[in-house]
């Protein structure tokens, strides 16, 4: 922030200005009234960062208070209007009234007193903004801040956000917290881009990334941390390994520290609890104002509709516990998972980029390294953020042909981060970093739910060919066989033992698979007014219409737009 000025008043009489709070018997909150200033001292303070302001607030004693203005006349004492007049308006003194203080030239600090009556809640963000607009009509155009960033970042148009001021385009306040601003050239040379890349990967050289895909995922995570505050949405990242102690949490903490400016908070995985608990924890994390959310130690096959939705929305709305009201919290947090041999299911494989490491030892925790990655990241954070900006700008100015495809739900991220990783692989370190989208394709192909759905579609095609069928037809054919038919086995694998018990239950399973493309097959459905239900037909999908290596999820806007899946017949030959 630019230099701002305010005043600190220290009371002489009475002995206390501020209200006091304490806990009484049974934990009851007791409030003691503050005093009314009669006589005191006034001191003008200048501050250049939010950290300076925070230090002033932290150092305030019960005998002190802040005034957002400065004395109209130079003064170091303050008194009541009557005392000032009775003393003959002495030099070096002023009154405690509003007309004796003025808003300083340039920036200032606006302070408002809000003391909710008993039984009322403290004001929320929107209420505070409205109160400021009412108190200061000149700030009527004030918008809600999206947060404070403490390092340089890149706007969606490729320009650098590095000016210490509120930025209307991103709704961010930039504040370096007293650190020097690293230089970010607007047209970096290849040499500068290469130096920036070397700086970004330096603290992670000793980590055992399994291949170029993993290194690409790591670079994408670093770049995402640098630009997450400006992105409406971002995929999550996951650090995976075959054994505990491999360094997954350390990597996650390094990425989180890059965006937070400190070690990020760690949230243990809610193993065995329902998705409602996951949603509540995600909402609670946003209410803390965190930029990075490390979800620790995911085990077995993990599917969470709440988490899948979390990474594709720019705000989260939920009910306040114990109240019949809901609040909306902006979501610019970077979600980072860790786990051993993670298996993601549902919508998560398309929304989480997995970076795998493998120390190839049964005691990875005993390894020794010359460099502490987390400490190095914290000490060189500003330089790393500037390096990330340089790399992204170099992509904007030098990349001629974008990498094919675009990750829907994360279009802005694709343009800033994924394309930069692909460009770095071509222009700076050939074959060192693979396209992060390849990891998503691989995760989709490895999804157990996708495999079960393909088995069902394949078996239904074998049974009915190009003819239409309904749930009752499937049930009849399954029961007609003396042994378990292929589509009966596929149904049991996909939906459990009760899938064939009732035609209604079977209809729900078929409806679940309707419209989804899996390894080149798609089940189309239509409502049959005469039969009073839905009719289905299995169709092969042409290559240009399939996606994600043959699996496109639901046919909606949540689809990657690349066009490079294998043919259905090729998949069919491989699975026979």
What is the per-residue pLDDT for 396? Answer: 95
Three-class DSSP category at 370 = coil
- Tell me which residue range forms the domain holding 541: 447-575
CB atoms within 10 A of CB 2: 9
Q: Are residues 197 and 257 in the same domain?
A: yes
Task: Looking at the structure, tell me whether residues 356 and 504 fall in a common domain.
Answer: no
Residue 67 lies in a domain: yes
Q: How confident is the model at residue 273 (pLDDT cuts 50, 70, 90)?
A: low
Q: Are residues 455 and 435 in the same domain?
A: no
**HSE-up of residue 8 (Cα within 13 Å, Cβ side):** 17
Q: Is residue 248 part of a domain?
A: yes
pLDDT interval class at 566 (50, 70, 90): very low
- Tell me, yes or no, whether 157 lies in a domain: no
The residue from 409, 440, 471 where one domain ends is: 440
Specify whether 419 is located in the same domain as 300: yes
Q: Residue 389: which CATH number?
A: 3.40.50.300
Q: 370 and 233, same structural domain? A: yes
Residues 208/358, Cβ–Cβ less than 8 Å: yes
Q: CA 79 to CA 56: how far, in whole Å?
A: 23
pLDDT over threshold 60, residue 555: no
Tell me if 19 sits within 8 A of 113, measured CB to CB.
no
* Lowest-confidence region among 120-129, 216-225, 328-337, 469-478: 120-129
Whether residue 449 is predicted with pLDDT greater than 90 in this model: the reply is: no
Residues in Cβ contact with 86 at an 8 Å cutoff, skipping those fewer than 6 apart: none
Residues 6+ apart with CB under 8 A from 525: 510, 511, 514, 515, 534, 535, 536, 537
User: Chain centroid to CA 540: how far?
Assistant: 38
Task: Place 118 in a pLDDT band, splitting at 50, 70 and 90.
Answer: low
Q: What are phi and psi of 222, to 5 degrees?
A: -65, -50
Q: Residue 380's pLDDT is what? A: 95
Residue 143, domain member (yes or no)? no
Q: Are 259 and 452 in contact (CB under 8 A)?
A: no
- In this structure, of 365-379, 403-417, 433-447, 558-572, the range with the lowest mean pLDDT score is 558-572
Query: What is the three-class DSSP state of 153?
Result: strand
In a domain, 171, yes or no: no
Q: pLDDT of 155-206, one tens digit each?
A: 999 999 987 777 888 888 887 766 777 889 999 999 999 999 999 999 999 9
Among 111, 127, 158, the domain boundary falls at 111
d(CA 341, CA 212): 18
Q: For the chain, what percent of residues have pLDDT higher than 90? A: 39
Same domain? For 295 and 279 the reply is yes
Closest among 439, 406, 458 to 549, alpha carbons compared: 439
**DSSP bridge pairs for 521:** 518, 540
Query: Could you give the CA distance from residue 83 to residue 113 in angstroms, rounded to a whole number?
Result: 26
Q: Tell me: do 278 and 406 sit in the same domain.
A: yes
- Indicate if 379 and 302 belong to the same structural domain: yes
Domain boundary among 83, 111, 139: 111
Q: Is residue 159 part of a domain?
A: no
| End-to-end Cα distance, the chain | 65
- pLDDT at position 569 is 33
Which is nearest to 347 in space by CA: 491, 516, 214?
516
Question: What distances in angstroms separate CA 298 from CA 48, 317, 355, 362, one per listed residue?
Answer: 43, 25, 14, 20
Q: What's the angle, vertex CA 301, arms to CA 300 and CA 303, rounded to 5?
A: 135
Query: 10 Å Cβ neighbour count for 200?
Result: 23
Domain count, the chain: 3
- The mean pLDDT value for 25-45 works out to 83
Tell me, yes or no, whether 391 and 251 share the same domain: yes
pTM: 0.69
Number of Cβ atoms within 10 Å of the Cβ of 569: 10
Return the DSSP state at 550: G
Regarding whether 416 and 299 lie in a shared domain, the answer is: yes
Judged on CB neighbours under 10 Å (0-12, 13-18, 19+), 205 is exposed
Confidence of residue 53 (pLDDT cuts 50, 70, 90): confident
Dist. CA 465–CA 475, nearest whole Å: 16
The radius of gyration of the chain's CA atoms, rounded to the nearest angstrom, is: 30
Give yes or no for residue 138 having a pLDDT over 70: no
| pLDDT at residue 558, rounded to an integer | 29
Q: Is residue 120 part of a domain?
A: no
**What is the mean predicted confidence (pLDDT) over 489-501?**
69
Question: String of b and e for 261-298 (b: at least 16 CB within 10 Å)?
Answer: bebbebbebbeeeeeeebbbbbbebbeeebbbbbbebb
Q: How many C-beta atoms lie closer than 10 Å to residue 85's C-beta?
A: 11
Same domain, 397 and 506: no
Tell me: do 294 and 412 sit in the same domain: yes
- 576, pLDDT greater than 50: no
For range 359-364, the mean pLDDT: 87
Question: Is residue 433 over pLDDT 90?
Answer: yes
Under 8 Å CB-to-CB from 354, ≥6 apart: which residues? 217, 237, 238, 239, 240, 342, 344, 439, 443
- Tell me, yes or no, whether 178 lies in a domain: no
Within 326-470, where are the H helices? 373-379, 381-398, 411-413, 419-427, 436-445, 448-464
């Amino acid at each position: 922030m630019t230099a701002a000025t305010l005043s600190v008043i220290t009371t002489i009489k009475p002995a206390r200005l501020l209200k006091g709070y304490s806990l009484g018997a049974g934990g009851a909150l007791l409030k003691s009234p503050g005093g009314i200033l009669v006589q005191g001292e006034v001191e003008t303070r200048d501050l250049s960062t939010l950290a300076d302001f925070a230090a002033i607030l932290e150092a305030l004693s019960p005998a002190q208070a802040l005034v957002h203005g400065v004395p109209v006349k130079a003064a170091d004492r303050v008194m009541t209007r009557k005392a000032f007049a009775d003393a003959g308006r002495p030099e070096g003194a002023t009154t405690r009234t509003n007309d004796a203080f003025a808003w300083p030239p340039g920036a200032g600090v606006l302070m408002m007193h809000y003391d909710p009556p008993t039984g009322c809640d403290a004001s929320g963000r929107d209420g505070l903004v409205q109160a400021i607009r009412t108190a200061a009509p000149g700030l009527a155009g004030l918008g809600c801040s999206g947060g404070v960033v403490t390092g340089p970042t890149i706007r969606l148009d490729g320009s650098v956000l590095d000016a210490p001021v509120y930025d209307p385009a991103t709704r961010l306040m930039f504040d370096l917290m007293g650190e020097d601003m690293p230089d970010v050239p607007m047209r970096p040379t290849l040499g500068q881009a290469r130096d920036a890349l070397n700086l970004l990967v330096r603290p992670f050289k000793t980590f055992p990334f399994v291949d170029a895909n993993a290194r690409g995922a790591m670079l994408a995570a670093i770049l995402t941390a640098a630009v997450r505050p400006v992105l409406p949405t971002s995929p999550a990242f996951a650090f995976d390994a075959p054994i505990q102690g491999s360094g997954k949490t350390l990597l996650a903490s390094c990425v989180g520290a890059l965006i937070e400016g400190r070690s990020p908070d760690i949230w243990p995985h809610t193993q065995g609890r329902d998705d409602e608990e996951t949603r509540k924890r995600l909402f609670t994390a946003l209410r803390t104002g965190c930029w990075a959310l490390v979800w620790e130690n995911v085990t077995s096959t993990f599917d969470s509709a709440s988490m899948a939705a979390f990474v594709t929305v720019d705000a989260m709305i939920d009910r306040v516990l114990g109240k019949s009201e809901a609040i909306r919290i902006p979501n610019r947090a970077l979600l980072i998972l860790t786990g051993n041999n993670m298996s993601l299911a549902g919508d998560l494989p398309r929304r989480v980029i997995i970076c795998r490491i493998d120390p190839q030892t049964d005691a990875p925790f005993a390894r020794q390294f010359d460099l502490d990655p987390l400490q190095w990241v914290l000490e060189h954070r500003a330089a790393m953020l500037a390096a990330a900006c340089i790399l992204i700008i170099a992509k904007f100015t030098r990349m001629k042909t974008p990498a094919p495809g675009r990750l829907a739900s994360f279009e802005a991220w694709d343009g800033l981060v994924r394309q930069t990783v692909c460009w770095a692989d071509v222009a700076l370190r050939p074959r060192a970093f693979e396209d992060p989208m390849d990891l998503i394709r691989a995760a989709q192909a490895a999804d157990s739910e996708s495999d079960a759905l393909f088995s069902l579609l394949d078996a239904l095609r074998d049974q009915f060919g190009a003819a239409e069928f309904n749930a009752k037809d499937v049930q009849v054919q399954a029961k007609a066989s003396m042994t378990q038919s292929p589509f009966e086995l596929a149904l049991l694998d996909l939906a459990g033992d009760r899938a064939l018990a009732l035609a209604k239950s079977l209809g729900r399973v078929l409806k679940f698979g309707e419209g989804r493309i899996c390894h080149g097959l798609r089940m189309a459905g239509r409502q049959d007014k005469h039969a009073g239900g839905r009719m289905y037909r299995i169709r092969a999908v042409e290559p240009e219409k399939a996606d994600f290596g043959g699996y496109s999820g639901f046919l909606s806007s949540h689809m990657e737009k690349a066009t490079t899946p294998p043919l259905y017949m090729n998949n069919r030959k491989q699975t026979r």
